[in-house]
Amino acid sequence: MKIILLVILFVTLFSQGYSTGSTSCKGRCDEKYNSQNMCHCNSKCSQYDNCCSDYEALCNGLSCQGRCGETYNSQNKCHCNIKCGDYNNCCSDYTSLCGSSGGGDGGSDITDAEIKSMSEALYALDSNKPSASELIIDSQARVPDSQTSSQNDLSPRPLFQFLDEASLFSKPSYAAFMALLDNYERNTGITEDFTPQQLAEQDTFLREAMSNTELGRELYAFLFTKGRYSSEEEFLHDLKMMWFGLYSRYAGKMDSSGFEHIFAGEIKGGKISGFHNWLQFYRLEKQGLIDYYSHSFDGPWTSYPDVLGMQFMWGGYFKQVGSSIIGCSPEFDLAVYSLCYITRPGKQCKLSLGGKPLVIQTYTWDKSSYGNGKKYIGSAFPATP
């Protein structure tokens, strides 16, 4: 009888607003204010600085409690599905509650074997790459890794001995790519300012490289089947933001992008930054603006594309090791870097080209973002031993 009376008393007191002494918002979100409570779980507690410690997580949409595997909702402040790691917008307790990195490796649902298979498909489809008669290089001096910083010009001749411009530059993807290379100010700290024509050139390149080549369509089809994109329009828009979206590398100026850094090259802190494209190297060497010194790495391929790790001087600035895929089409360069960045952002990406391994190192730009927290590409290049 006493137990029954105590239970009745407890229920009565609780219904009248007496506190149970809880310091958690579990089961209390949006409760009415009760002065007896030790902390609170309603919309005004932040204003009065008396929220329970787990209020933001449990009541303000910042926890995955009960939300693991949910469908994406743009209204949510953080997310709890397998793609949240790719977009860097997982709730802080996603891993502990949902038992997964949520794609934090940039594509946990896409295996290394699938990436290697896809890279072989892209390699086989690169029909616009130069032949041995269309491109002739003279790699000359090779130096050990211990001498890459010596700044000794050991190669008296240019790297590029011959390129059949008439054959290659008439191809739409080459023409569109070359049109982009003179659109940039190489020094960081100076805001990039594009004309309407230059902005249109970005769209033209993406269209010619991705939509109008079998190679580009193959990449999209793969990413579509893996659930990365729901339409070609979404795919192209993401590529444009990822590659051409501006961010600041120095002094708060909108002075850089993934495309500029990787394909055109930049100068930062008195050094060459980025610069991992063979066509830009050819273009500047032909103009007398680049002096090829030596190479420290030469890939195992006996036909194009190949990989070189080079030492060179660009307008008074030295690059200790600049690695590039040599003798590929612009769409191949864009496709393999995009494949690696989308599936392995900020990590090493293991490819296979003609049965031989190639590792692409990618870096995310973490200081700003686009869309729903997606990260711009910071850098990508062949990792040379």
- Residues carrying an active site annotation: 261, 276, 319
Count CA within 13 A, CB hemisphere, residue 230.
0
Could you give the CA distance from residue 318 to residue 6 in angstroms, rounded to a whole number?
83
Could you give the CA distance from residue 375 to residue 50 in angstroms, rounded to a whole number?
35
For 313, the 3-state DSSP assignment is strand
**Helical residues (DSSP H) of 207-257, grouped into ranges:** 214-225, 232-244
At 38, list the tokens. Answer: 């030790």
Residue type, 173: S
For 56, the 3-state DSSP assignment is helix
- 178-194 burial, b if ≥16 CB within 10 A, otherwise e? bbbbebbbbebeeebee
Burial of 321 (0-12, 13-18, 19+ CB in 10 A): middle
At 49, list the tokens. Answer: 């600085």
- 95-123 burial, b if ≥16 CB within 10 A, otherwise e? eebbebebbbbbbbebeeeebbebbebbb
